[in-house]
Structure 1
């Protein structure tokens, strides 16, 4: 179960994220395009280094003191979180469960997006996308999503191509798309789905558990396919373990190669890693990845 208390921890953690963000933007003007996409908020006294274009000369005429106008960004970016809800995501014990870990990553993006006065959308991916938010883009909506996700049991095979392609048709504004999935699909199917979204900024978080990345099972073992519920008893170790590792690494490399070809950033996430460290890497990657990729915008 997802404990909504992690959002309070995220609020405290956000202070350090903002320090990192500000450091990376050091020397840049906060509002180089004064007035466009911004709404007036209030005044504050002029200080050395402030942009003189922001001085309110009407206030100066009345008071003979320099004040600058402060603006708030209008909601001009929509963040779309697409969380894989196929059966393979229901794997991993406790905090390492892929679906719950991935859901928290998506909820974290929604929470901080709303704090920045932007809009978010949240959808589950199965054979087709299932949008589960109510278009509120608020903290209350994030809490409602926590309840909704705690009631969700991943299931089915999923169709990554159809789900992503169908969702792409719903995007009609400047957008950042966050895809959270184990991507245990054919790499060509993954590429076909991602290609439909590639005109937007896209960040893929590929979530896998420590047991998948480095399985410890040795000797006789029973393996279960979570999508078909088929089981197989076999000896796991030696050559079988090496074959598994080689096959996994080939799959990861194939997915990464296709993402790079599309100019899409993909991060491999170990669900055994500390959550806030992982979230920080993804959040900062989303904020600055667009600059590295040339700052694409959605249509």
Structure 2
């Protein structure tokens, strides 16, 4: 169960993500688009068709030339949290459970986003994406989401590619999209799904348990597929352990390569690590990613 008290510990983090957005007005972010707004940018010469209300007549009085004011419109940043709710996420004991750990990461982003007076949207991903927030970006809504997620049991094998492609069509302004998943899907399908979101700033938290990253099991063991409930009894150790490690590393490398090509930020999160250390790394990645893109 997720204890909402962890949210109080996040207040020591800087809430501002400093990302460019082109959404309608309100929050503390600024758009790179220039238009009528609140923050003065610079001047340019008037050309026919410009709004005459933007002419600076004081400049005209000094220069006898028409210049218009340019402004940076202040914009609201939307943070979209997409949490994998397929059966493979329901793995890991207690606080190492991938779904619970990932849910807390997403809730943390929502908490700090609300603190910064910006908007968040929270969805579960399986065969499709399901919005579970009620479009009210408040701390009360974050607490309601805690209760909802505590009542959620991950299930099914999902369709990562189709779900993300469908969700991408619902985003109508430049946003930060946080995808939280173990990414135990085909790397090409992962790339297609993330690629559909790539016109936004995308941050991926790949959550895996210590047992998945380095199984401690040796000898005779029974392995269970959480998505199909199929079981297999085998001897795990020696060659089998090396083969597992090789396949895992190849999978992680394949995902890393595809994210690099898409210019998607990806963090590998070990659920055995301290939660606040993991959150700090992810939040810093979100901040630095926005600053890096803003300099382009």
Q: Does 1:163 align with 2:163?
A: yes
Q: Does 1:110 align with 2:115?
A: no
Q: Secondary structure at the match of 1:199?
A: coil
Residues 38, 74 of structure 2: 8 Å contact kept: yes
Counterpart Cα distance in 2 of 1:112 and 1:265: 20
Counterpart Cα distance in 2 of 1:134 and 1:114: 14
Shift of 1:110: 0.2
Counterpart Cα distance in 2 of 1:133 and 1:38: 30
Counterpart Cα distance in 2 of 1:235 and 1:222: 9
Give ranges in structure 1 of 5+ residues lacking alignment: 22-29, 40-72
TM-score, scaled relative to structure 1: 0.79
Counterpart Cα distance in 2 of 1:183 and 1:218: 25
CA spacing shift, 1:31–1:125, aligned 2, 3 Å: closer
Q: Secondary structure at the match of 2:227?
A: coil
Residues 74, 118 of structure 1: 8 Å contact kept: no
Summarize deviations over 1:254-299 as a string: whole Å, max 9, x none. Answer: 0010000001011100000111111011111101113334568xxx
CA spacing shift, 1:111–1:18, aligned 2, 3 Å: closer
Correspondence 1:112-261 to 2 at 5 A? 112-261=112-261
Q: Secondary structure at the match of 1:280?
A: helix
Shift of 1:8: 1.3
Q: Secondary structure at the match of 1:292?
A: helix
Summarize deviations over 1:212-233 as a string: whole Å, max 9, x none. Answer: 0011000000000000000000
Shift of 1:36: 7.3
Partner of 1:281: 281
Partner of 1:272: 272
What is the aligned length? 252
Counterpart Cα distance in 2 of 1:38 and 1:287: 24
Residues 38, 74 of structure 1: 8 Å contact kept: yes
Instruction: Provide the aligned C-alpha RMSD in A.
Output: 2.5
